[in-house]
Chain A
Amino acid sequence: MIKRYKERYLAGYLARVFLHNPLTMVIGVTLIVLGIVALLMMPREEDPQISISGGTIIISLPGASADEVEKVIVKPLERRIKEIKGVEHIYGVSSDSVGIVNVMYYIGENREASNLKLYDKVMQNMDQLPQGALQPLVRPFDIDIDIPVLSIAFYAKDALHVKNVELYKKIEELRNEFGNIPNVAKTELKGEFKEQFNVEVDLGKLASFGLSMGQIAQSLKSLSSSVPNINNKTNDGKLVIFGIKNAIEKVEDIENLIVSRSFGSSIYLRDVAKITQSYDIQNLKSAEISYRENGILGEAREQITLSVSKLKGSNAVVIAEDVLKRVEAHKASLDKAGIGYIVTRNYGERANSAVNELVFHLLISVVIIALLLIVVLGWREGLIVTLTVPAILAITIFIAYISGQTINRITLFAFLLSLGLLVDDVIVVIENIHRHLHDKASKDKEMDEILIEATDEIGAPTNIATIAIILTMVPMAFVGQMMGEFMKPIPLNVPVALLSSLLIAYIFTPFLARKFLKKPNHKEEV
């Protein structure tokens, strides 16, 4: 019976438990599969989301000057808001007739709770609002919903052919279809013009007929009144339904409206005003786009931008693809209607390419390190280290996935950063195994015992060194402000990667060494 090595540290213990265990291989494969699944399943983003909480409260007090608004609305409201815990800054904006208070919470405050607190505070103090103030509007920030991940500009290929209202109707129709795409939060239009009957009164004619604007408004109002259907019954109890048809159907209906009767002759609306069925002329918001046509940036033409935002924690890549697929499906009908479109923003695609590029970088780095190790340590040892790297990364990615993180640039940088660190443990173990195998003193020892002893020997310093690196990361998790939140994936993931590298080094390195390495024949060497 060969002397059994008595292990002193966790390192040797783990090495012994897993060295002959048939499950070791299964565990290894499972880990890698889990990692790949997590990598594919995790929502992808370009940048990590920072939880910015805050909101805006808008209160109108018609007719009040800026100074009055400040005194009776903004100041008292600010004082109340100040009572909320977690509020960092309060910005007050008082202008004529309206007061706005912007509230910023400390970065990292829970958003749902903050929104609720804000709403609660405003509602509690409703009775203190001055006379004549309108109902306060409370609008909390919502980064996920407020920032669209996708925007598409629709434009008329021939502006003379497609009226802006037609464009709007078509896009509105399209927008309604997105309603059933999973995880789409909000769709918004910018630059749309809605259908409207415009009655443009000529002041001169009005005066010549002795009419006032008020009269015209009155007669228009009376025209558009409508009632619901009327239910009546026949003598034998059957239902008879009748309703009044809308009085206005076409432009002519408005044109032929009699606004006044004087001296036996009727004055029609068309006599004093120009009536058109067109778009909302009072809307001064507009959107245009200039795009490349035959290589040159063309004239800016009217467009409607449709933007889509996603629900929190969902995958921007998938949503953008889904929406674009729908639009693509309508391409023919849009084409027929003379409408073209350009995708002006696609965060999904950007996130995907950023993530893919970094995953590619990660792979290149693994290969480069593998080559280095193969050159320096020999190909068997190099191969062992290379095999452990994906397992370590897989564990880290999987843990990141189940802890609800998204995969973004910072997470991947954390992996890149830890890559240089996590091979260290395996290198140290394999180097020691290598040294022991080639050591003359181990000539008579059993292979397994050498492996366990070699692993166990460097257990203490490796543990301490790894703990030291993890400790350097811990304080970073407490860095506050935007930057701390932004960089949080680094202190979250690097320690996990290091811990798993430690376990992998103790479990898999001796296991793989047993499969790949052989005890050199010392007699020949001497």
Chain B
Amino acid sequence: MEKFEHFIYAILMSPSKKKLVLLITLLAFIASLFMFPTHMVLAKMLPGKSTDTFSIYIDLPNGSSAVETKKVNACVVSILQKEKEIQNIEIFSGMGSPLDYAGLVKGSGFKMGEHVSEIVVNLSSIHTRDEASFMMVHRLRPLIQQTCEPLKMGTSIKMTEQPAGPPTLSAIVIELYGKDDHALSALAQEVKNIVSKTKNLVDVDILGDDIYKKFELIVDKEKIIRSSLSIANVNEILYLSFEGMQIAHKNSENSPSQIPIFLVLSDKSKNINHFSKEELVAKLTAVKLLNEQGMMVPLNELVSVQEVDSTPTVMSKNLQRMVSIVAETDLVSQVYPLLDARSAIKEKLSEQFEINNSHLFDLELKDKKSGEVFTLVWDGEMKVTMDTFRDLGAAFIAALVLIFLLMVIYYKSYAIAGIILLGSFLSIIGVIFGHWIMDIFTKETFFLTATSLIGFISLMGISSRNSLLLIDFSLSLMKEGVDKQKAIANATATRAKPIFLTAAAIILASTLLASDPIFGGLGVALIFGTIAAVIVSLIVVPVLMDKAKAIH
């Protein structure tokens, strides 16, 4: 302790040493801030979480049949079956799997139709498995997509992991707003292509229906009336023949519900040889209706068949027409690929559109020829991240102001309150360096996350306590008539023990936090921030106190 007291005293007595201390602090602060633009420390809302399960969403283009979907399912399952760590695979065709948090926002509960399916993969327990679930997804994704997507053109296979925190629709959601449907979907296609080429973005897909070929039967009203039939008759017979209907029910004691009687044409007689208008007309010729006069009228006499495009679903958000493009990130934070994709969009579309920045990252595209205006808005996890970081930033500033006010009330001096505030703020150096060091030592990227920010905010309070005790003690020593420098050096040396002790307690309590995927950031922020806070309060704060005229 004596040595430490002399060391502090020596610093305080030499102006050049004091300058050196402040200079080193300033450099360390600038260096830590530079870790953001140089990507030495990467930011993400929450890191990936290794769980015991993940899902695979399979979407064939609209108009695909259950048989085709089953084929793709089988392909995916055959790849999964080679995995050692998989305990079981659940396959749900034509519907979503039992709802989970990811499925809730991704609309899994609304899935229906022959062209969709979901596969849930359950892994062996996280404690006995070496590979993290997100690494497994990372490894399997290209394999599954490259093997199974080509089975049917336009198939999209998405790997869905359970979110570490609150669920979002997707890591990146691009919302395109515009008035004209066709121009909008063309633009969406272009944006999708650009986004698919962006590094680290995977599972890129346009949300919405694909347009497919279908047949439209146009009824000849005159002929229907002349054959003493009605349109309702035609509709009913068509539906009854090809889709089937439950036309009667039987009550039963040993069945949980009524047993329906289902009437339909047999598969053999309703299936059409191949997809063509002629085949369909031929089939309709065989289906006959009985009119009131007891005459049989073939269906093809009453309708004409036309091949048309299906009408796609119209989506809107907040009363504006919208097309959205979703993309997931592969292990990395969504912030950086987003910026890449954004500049790629700006570059590639600049020939056709006049592009202006609007709010934050959002863009406004104006077609050079038609003058139509489209708006491109980033949503999804990105937006949540931005909002969260903004809110936490505001919370941080509010915390700073509150501490400052509290100190002003207690000491009745702006200068002393300022010293305490500065002392606490400098612990940010430790937080950022801590993340950089952890990133070097961990296999996966160690992100600066929302929990790191929470850790940093709580640090403010902790490090202000150190400075507080220091200043309190120095002031009472000076009241007893000790020299300013002497008093500060003595106070620093005496308070060093409890400061070290409380710091050690925080560091030890946080080591277990640091091993958790979500709260790792908080743990690391606390550990390294506390180390920085101790150094700052034992060396920098005494120098600042010496400089402050308010302490006398």
Residues of A within 8 A of B399 (CB): 471-476
Contact B261 A248 (CB under 8 A): yes
Name which of B198-206, B236-244, B361-369 contacts chain A: B236-244
Check: A221 CB closer than 8 A to any chain B CB. yes
Contact with A along B38-65 (1 / 0, CB 8 A): 0000000100000011000000000000
In Å, the complex CA distance between A297 and B286 comes to 47
In the complex, the chain B residue whose C-beta lies closest to that of A345 is B98
Task: Check: B343 CB closer than 8 A to any chain A CB.
Answer: no
Number of A-B contacts (CB under 8 A): 398
Report A-chain residues with C-beta under 8 Å of the C-beta of B90: 153, 287-289, 303, 305, 344
Q: A212-B290, A282-B243, A376-B501 are in contact. Are A197 and B259 (CB under 8 A)?
A: yes
Interface residues as binary, B240-280 with A (CB distance below 8 Å gives 1, 0 otherwise): 11011111111110011101111111111110000000000
Q: Which residues of A contact B462 (CB under 8 A)?
A: 421, 424, 469
Are B250 and A248 in contact, with the CB atoms below 8 A?
yes
Contact between chains at B512 and A364 (CB < 8 Å):
yes
Give bound CA distance, A426 to B265, whole Å: 82
Given the complex, which residues of B lie within 8 Å of A79, measured CB to CB?
319
A413 lies within 8 A of B519 (CB): yes
From known contacts A197-B262, A376-B501, A421-B458, infer whether A287 and B104 are also in contact, taking CB-CB under 8 Å.
Answer: no
Whole-angstrom distance between the Cβ of A115 and the nearest chain B Cβ: 16
- Closest 10 CB pairs between A and B? A469-B461, A482-B166, A420-B506, A203-B269, A420-B509, A224-B248, A465-B465, A475-B398, A475-B395, A200-B266
Given A223-B248, A417-B455, A472-B461, 20 extra CB contacts under 8 A: A190-B92, A195-B252, A198-B264, A202-B268, A213-B287, A221-B247, A282-B262, A285-B95, A286-B94, A292-B87, A297-B80, A305-B98, A307-B98, A369-B509, A417-B458, A431-B497, A465-B468, A482-B165, A482-B168, A483-B450
Residue numbers in B under 8 Å from A148 (CB-CB):
98-99
A449 lies within 8 A of chain B by Cβ: no
Within 8 A of A (CB), among B325-358: none
Q: Are B410 and A464 in contact (CB under 8 A)?
A: yes
- Which residues of chain A from 56 to 97 have a CB within 8 Å of any chain B CB? 56, 65-67, 69-70, 74-75, 78-79, 82, 89-96
Residue A173 at the B interface, CB < 8 A? yes
Question: At the interface, yes or no: B304 with Cβ under 8 Å from chain A?
Answer: no
Chain A minimum-CB-distance residue to B251: A246
A254 to chain B: which residues have CB within 8 Å?
261
* Inter-subunit contact A210/B296 (CB<8 Å): yes
- Using C-beta atoms within 8 Å of the partner chain, give the interface range for chain B: 35 or more
Contact segment of B16-24, B131-139, B383-391, B434-442: B383-391
Of listed A188, A476, A484, residue having the most chain B CB within 10 A: A476
Interface membership of A300, Cβ < 8 A: yes
Whether the pair A146, B109 counts as a contact (CB closer than 8 A) is yes
Q: Which stretch from A1-9, A273-281, A436-444 is at the chain B interface?
A: A273-281
Considering only residues 166-196 of chain A, those with a C-beta below 8 Å from chain B are 168-169, 172-173, 188, 190-191, 194-196
Q: Which residues of A contact B (CB under 8 A)?
A: 47, 50, 52, 56, 65-67, 69-70, 74-75, 78-79, 82, 89-96, 141, 143, 146-148, 151, 153, 168-169, 172-173, 188, 190-191, 194-204, 207, 210-217, 220-221, 223-224, 226, 246, 248, 254, 273-274, 277, 280-282, 284-292, 296-297, 300, 303, 305, 307, 342, 344-345, 350, 361, 364-365, 368-369, 372-373, 376-377, 409, 413, 416-417, 419-421, 423-424, 427-428, 431, 460-461, 464-465, 467-476, 478-487, 490, 494
- Whether B248 pairs with A290 at a CB distance below 8 angstroms is no
CA distance A460 to B475 in the complex (A): 14
- Partner of B468 from A169, A345, A461 at Cβ < 8 Å: A461
Q: Which residues of A contact B243 (CB under 8 A)?
A: 282
Q: Are A417 and B266 in contact (CB under 8 A)?
A: no
B5-13, B186-194, B310-318: which lies at the interface: B310-318
B541 sits at the interface (CB 8 A): no
Given A214-B289, A420-B506, A468-B461: A344 and B313 within 8 A (CB)?
no
Given known contacts A190-B98, A483-B165, is B464 in contact with A468 (CB within 8 Å)? yes
Cross-chain pairs A/B with CB under 8 angstroms, 5 sampled: A90-B318, A203-B270, A289-B90, A476-B454, A482-B167
On whether the beta carbons of A70 and B165 are closer than 8 Å, the reply is: no
B45: A residues at CB distance < 8 A: 483
| B430 → A minimal CB distance (Å) | 15
- A336: min CB distance to chain B, Å: 18
Give the distance to chain A from B83, nearest Cβ to Cβ, in Å: 8
Q: Are B88 and A292 in contact (CB under 8 A)?
A: yes
**For residue A188, which residues in chain B have a CB less than 8 angstroms away from its CB?**
98
Interface members, chain B 103-156 (any A CB < 8 Å): 104, 109-110, 112, 114, 120, 122
Residues of A within 8 A of B317 (CB): 89-92
Interchain CB contact under 8 A, A365 and B313: no
